[in-house]
Every structure is written in structure tokens, then in C-alpha cells.
Structure 1
Amino acid sequence: MDNLTLKIEYLLKVLKKSWSLNSSSKWTMNNPAKGQCGVTALVVNDIYGGEIFKTPTPEGWHFYNRINNKYFDLTESQFTSKIIYLNMPSSREEAFLDTNGIQYNALKQIVYSYLTDDSLPCRPSPSVKKGNL
């Protein structure tokens, strides 16, 4: 397993601890990833860069990331059936339409509080706070 995949797996653990009603009004204890795709894609993009992609689902657009030419969908667990990924390029602006500033800032703040400097690549700079997972 490559270093990026290990970092993404660690980030997924952080996200699972971080998702809440504060980051999506669709969140439930039984399905914590529900409604978190746009806000999660934005925070992942803040941390690792890359691009944001989307694919249609019966519930609407679903957002995820491509980093170093590898696709990562950290909220796929919200779906009960397999997703057919069309890998359509999207943008931060479009993903933001799936969330709002309060939810985005809530998720970003708690995720950054969990991350340690050595778990990240060179970005996002020293604004990441030290924390424990």
C-alpha cells in the first residue's frame, strides 16, 4: 500500500470521528457518512489538493476526490448499493453547493484538530493543530 493510501485511510478514521449533525443535517448514528460528500470532498481537497469529481446517484450529485491520479471516495459508505462512478470533473464551488459555510467550517475545524503534522504532506501549512486520534 502506498504512502498516500495510508494517509487517506488515516484521514478516513479522523472523518468518522468528526462527522456529525454539525457537518451535515442528514447525519445519523447509523449512517454517519450520510450527506457528508460535498463537505468532505472540500476538506480533503484543502488537505491533499488534487481535484474534486462528481457522479450522479438517485439522491443527486455525489462528490469525491482525485489525488495524484487516484480516486478516493471517503463517503461511499453512506450508500447501500454500489455506485457507478462516471468521474465527472467538478469544482470547489459546485461541491460547496452541497453544504454551507457553517458545516464546512465545523468539519474542517474538528478534522484539523485531530491531525498531527507528520500525518500530512507539506500542506496545509502550520495552521493544522496537533491532536490525538
Structure 2
Amino acid sequence: MSIDEVLQALRGSWGPDTCAPEDVSDWRPDNPARGQCATTAVLLHDYFGGCLVRGEVRVDGRQVDFHWWNRFADGQVVDATIEQFAPHEVVVGGTDVERPTGPTRMDVQYELLASRVAALLADST
């Protein structure tokens, strides 16, 4: 399975119910990537390994959130949700981070997204 197939399945699976709780009010069908970065990065890690990368989201120089993306073993960087940000929201930095272990605040959203992606990928074979 290719990265493009998984990305397509991810994009077809995002919804307000897979969004980070603090971003639900900003989620819209015309910006489906909003609030999806952490679960999306972890799911891409499930399929392709590599490193999880976390940067800061800044507005007017002040940190307002974190943003997550992937760096694969071959050096390829994939930020599947960068389009979620408005021009005034700037992502800075980027540090490799360990994959979270144990329960997280996003477990429900992750499980829902993972099941939708798996179903779409199964249907495409």
C-alpha cells in the first residue's frame, strides 16, 4: 500500500468526531484537516514507521498550540494536515518526539479514525 492511498483514506475519514476537542468549533467541511494532525501523524506512523515530529503553532509570536507531522526513515517529510492553518497561524520548529504510550486524551478520536481508514483501505483492494 502506498502513502498516497493511506493519505486519501485519511482525508476521506476526517470529521468533527476525529478532531482534537479544542478544534471542534473550528472544524468545517471546507477545512477537514483542522484538528486532525496528532491522530493523523500517529496513524501514518502505524503504517510507515519513522519519526513523529512536533512543532509549535504561533499567532502573533505567541504559542497557541502544537502541530504534528511525520518524517519517514528515507528522510521524506509528510505533513498531511498543514493546510488546516490560516495565514496568521505559523508553525515553527520541529522536534522528533517519542510516540505516546499508554492512554492519551485523543484515544477515542484515534480509534475512530483508525477504523475508518482501515475500512476505506480494505474497500479499495
1:57 deviates by 0.9
Q: What pairs with 1:1-133 in structure 2 (closer than 5 Å)?
A: 7-24=2-19, 25=21, 26=24, 27-58=27-58, 59-68=64-73, 69-81=75-87, 83-93=90-100, 99-115=105-121, 130-132=122-124
Say if 1:39 and 1:102 are closer, same or farther in 2 by CA, change over 3 A: same
Matched letter for residue 95 of structure 2: M
Q: Kindly tell me the number of residue pairs found equivalent between the two proteins.
A: 112
CA distance in 2, matches of 1:40, 1:105: 11
CA distance in 2, matches of 1:18, 1:57: 24
Question: TM-score scaled to structure 2, two decimals?
Answer: 0.77
Structure 1 stretches (4+) deviating beyond 6 angstroms? none
- Ranges in structure 2 where 5+ consecutive residues have no aligned partner: 59-63
| Sequence identity (%) | 27
Give per-residue Cα distances to partners, 1:27-82, cap 9 Å, x unaligned.
32121000000010111111111110011112311000011221110001101238
Normalized per residue, the structure richer in strand is: 2
1:85 deviates by 4.8
Q: Residue 70 of structure 2: SS of its match in structure 1? A: strand
